[in-house]
Structure 1
Amino acid sequence: MTSSRRTVRCGVAAAVATVLWASGIAHAAGPADNTTAPPARTPSGNANNGELSAAVSRIKVTQVSGPTGGKTGRISSTDVNWEPPPCWYEPVYTPEKLKDFSETDNPLGYVSPHAEWGGKKLWTDHYRDSKDAYNYKDNSLTPTEGYDNYNIGKNGYFWRGVARDSADPDSYGCESVMFWQDAGQIPKVANAPTPKTLAAYAYDKVKVPGTEIELRPTTKSTVNAPTWAWLDKGTFKEVKVRAELPDTGLWAETTAKPITLHLDPGTQDAETFPASGDCEINDDGSTGTPYVKGDAGKIPPCGITYLRATYGTPYHLKASITWQISWEGTGGAKGDLPDGTFDTTQDMNVVEYQATNS
């Protein structure tokens, strides 16, 4: 985020935050250095308020395949510059539900990721009585035409921007006041959702199994004697996560496929096998070859030889799995996303004396 772009975003927050109506106040929470905080929430007396009162995504995420128990974790992108979309638009309310919400005694809810309207008149003026609301565009506040009786009788939804992280200055790219779109159509606006949007959203929800490798010896090795490392068959399989955006027909499935196990001995005084430290993961989920009695002294297909003893301070052996990420979605759309990694560490003690690896 450059300084000039941040200044523009802060200007957006400041401008939106200063827009007041006679019978209510619109609050906008801006970046940390320019914030007008919304008031404390009070119940508005309507069971349907949840969707509108909280600026959260309606995307539904389902794990199609992958770990169902045990230790898991989320992957980290290998591309440090990659991030999921900061914001996008979603359908929120039908005309009838918006009417129910707006005509409660004290409706309080978001009309964009950062703009919150409190007070019945704000909602009824714009969505019932056709009065203009205001969007911040091209460095000025521009009027947005209101609606007649919440568009009741029409088939469609009111859409609102959603931010992945409202503290991110780039999340101000979806600040249009909640607007109408006919059913079966995706709005033709910047940051409208796509299958790729959902794929990137699912990327952040992928949970993979912990990287617990088998070692022989287990936690104590001998200087210049190979330590074998392997993963049993079936340990690592594809993980697939499906993301669907209700009322749009949009969906995407993001698939993480394990491709390599990387061993980092935790010291430069070591040799890895292969030399790169990358052990390929086979289609059956196995890696390397399990140690069997009589293999002592042999070079393992996946493993480590430590060249110096630890003398009471163990090395931290890190095992990292690299996951290849692809996706497919609505209408045959498909593509790739940056590889992800997940790693664990364990202590390795190394002694000087020679011993038999059994």
Structure 2
Amino acid sequence: MHKSVALAACTAALFTVQAAPAAWADRTNTTSPTKEAKGGKNGRTITVQTKVQTSVNGDTRSARTGNLSSADSNWTPPACWYEPAFSPKEIEKTVKAWRGFGDGVPLFEGVGEFVGDYLDNRYKKGKPYKDYNLDKQGKGMFWAAAINPNRKDDPEASACDKQPFWVDEAETPKEPLAVTPEVLAEYAYDELPVPSTEITMAPQGTTKVNLPTWVWLDKAKFKKVSVTASIPGSGLSATTTAEPVSLSIAPGTEDAETYPASGECPIEDHRIGVPRAKGTPADTDPPCGVKYLRSSGDGSYDLQATVTWKISWTSTTTEGGRLPEGRFGADQQVEVEEIQSINR
């Protein structure tokens, strides 16, 4: 293996393997596990497993969940960022460990020393850091690129292509892609668990031409849900909250009418639509529903039900704000048949 090729492969692996330094191992929270993040420009970017942790504060235990998609097609959560990754001692320890890599293996013989020399040149010999910044132990961290595990295949994931760089404690990096509360809030957007949008209809099963079909969703599921994203020990955190605001109905055919006419059923007191009470006349218009004007024949119509969620975020260290509305929906097959009449 050519040493320059080995360098690219090994240095990329180097910091990925060391993605969760021991210094952070005992800083726990009620969170989901950290996720492995790999990738980078031409496969050579040094990346780390993100230490961002998330906790869900909403009541979604009984709900099947999905992830929101942005209503703004021009906006997506960040694909990568830079975050605190290594202490000076962790950099030093890792470089020393790599000097033994490849010993006794013909294909990799000498690669460890080559990688070690490269890293020492950068982090020990003053180009640009001296002695791994050991004199600053406890006074800052080396920040490294981390890739959003939900978006590791996005082209934007290659934007964080800088080598790990030093940031003094309590200082804000001048790097535009450095993690901030707002970046954490946008990441939390990707982690929001929202309930499934499987609607209930009356009449159940096959519906009839020219008779209203009532539509509603389980009131208990549609409440605010919040996700807090944080980097333990850094003082950086943000909470993103999703609140349901409306249900959109698309009947799956132009031969239909919706209630209301806009097809947008507002959410009031966590309620989306109203269950049809027993004894309600069949031709009564529902507050939320659909009326098919033509039979579906031997097939069915693909009714789409989509809930729109209003998204906001807050932080204890900076002013929060709004993020683009999110949407999550589901399709249901609806069979529609003609009303049978009996002639006497």
TM interval, shorter chain, is 0.7 to 0.9
Q: 1:149 to 1:163 in 2, by over 3 A?
A: closer
Instruction: Give 2:35's aligned residue.
Output: none
Asked whether the equivalents of residues 185 and 313 of structure 2 are also in contact (C-alpha less than 8 Å), the reply is yes
- % identical equivalent positions: 37
Q: Secondary structure at the match of 2:120?
A: helix
Q: Secondary structure at the match of 1:177?
A: coil
Alpha-carbon separation, structure 2, partners of 1:341 and 1:107: 51
Alpha-carbon separation, structure 1, partners of 2:178 and 2:145: 9
Instruction: Give 1:104's aligned residue.
Output: 97
AA aligned opposite 2:80: C
Q: 1:255 to 1:118 in 2, by over 3 A?
A: farther
Asked whether the equivalents of residues 306 and 328 of structure 2 are also in contact (C-alpha less than 8 Å), the reply is yes
Instruction: Give 2:123's aligned residue.
Output: 127
Instruction: Give 2:134's aligned residue.
Output: 151
Asked whether the equivalents of residues 222 and 352 of structure 1 are also in contact (C-alpha less than 8 Å), the reply is yes
Instruction: Give 1:160's aligned residue.
Output: 144
Shift of 1:200: 0.7
Asked whether the equivalents of residues 314 and 348 of structure 1 are also in contact (C-alpha less than 8 Å), the reply is yes
The answer to whether residue 72 in structure 2 is matched with residue 79 in structure 1 is yes
- Richer in helix (by share): 2
Deviations 1:279-302 (CA, angstroms, capped at 9, x unpaired):
11112x212221112212111111
Q: Secondary structure at the match of 2:268?
A: coil
Instruction: Give 1:340's aligned residue.
Output: 326
Deviations 1:152-193 (CA, angstroms, capped at 9, x unpaired):
453211111223356545444433321111122221222222
Shift of 1:98: 1.7
Q: 1:105 to 1:289 in 2, by over 3 A?
A: closer
> Quick one: which of 219, 224, 233 aligns to 2:219?
233
Shift of 1:322: 0.4
Q: Secondary structure at the match of 2:191?
A: coil
Instruction: Give 2:230's aligned residue.
Output: 244
Asked whether the equivalents of residues 103 and 124 of structure 1 are also in contact (C-alpha less than 8 Å), the reply is no
Shift of 1:69: 4.2
Shift of 1:240: 0.5
Instruction: Give 2:104's aligned residue.
Output: none
Shift of 1:246: 3.0
Gaps of 5+ in 2: 22-45, 102-112
Deviations 1:104-155 (CA, angstroms, capped at 9, x unpaired):
04589xxxxxxxx97222222322232x2xxxxxxxxxxxx12224424532
Alpha-carbon separation, structure 2, partners of 1:41 and 1:57: 15
Gaps of 5+ in 1: 1-17, 28-37, 109-116, 133-144
Give aligned pairs, total: 301
The answer to whether residue 188 in structure 2 is matched with residue 202 in structure 1 is yes
AA aligned opposite 1:298: T
Instruction: Give 2:82's aligned residue.
Output: 89
The answer to whether residue 285 in structure 2 is matched with residue 289 in structure 1 is no
Asked whether the equivalents of residues 19 and 26 of structure 1 are also in contact (C-alpha less than 8 Å), the reply is yes
AA aligned opposite 1:244: S
Instruction: Give 1:263's aligned residue.
Output: 249
Shift of 1:332: 4.1
Instruction: Give 1:51's aligned residue.
Output: 20
Q: Secondary structure at the match of 2:89?
A: helix
Asked whether the equivalents of residues 232 and 290 of structure 1 are also in contact (C-alpha less than 8 Å), the reply is no
Alpha-carbon separation, structure 1, partners of 2:161 and 2:304: 43
Shift of 1:255: 0.5
Alpha-carbon separation, structure 1, partners of 2:301 and 2:286: 20
Alpha-carbon separation, structure 2, partners of 1:170 and 1:107: 35
The answer to whether residue 290 in structure 2 is matched with residue 304 in structure 1 is yes
Deviations 1:224-269 (CA, angstroms, capped at 9, x unpaired):
0111111243230111011112342111111010000111111111
Q: 1:55 to 1:319 in 2, by over 3 A?
A: same
Q: Secondary structure at the match of 1:330?
A: coil
Instruction: Give 2:203's aligned residue.
Output: 217
Q: 1:247 to 1:187 in 2, by over 3 A?
A: farther
AA aligned opposite 1:276: S
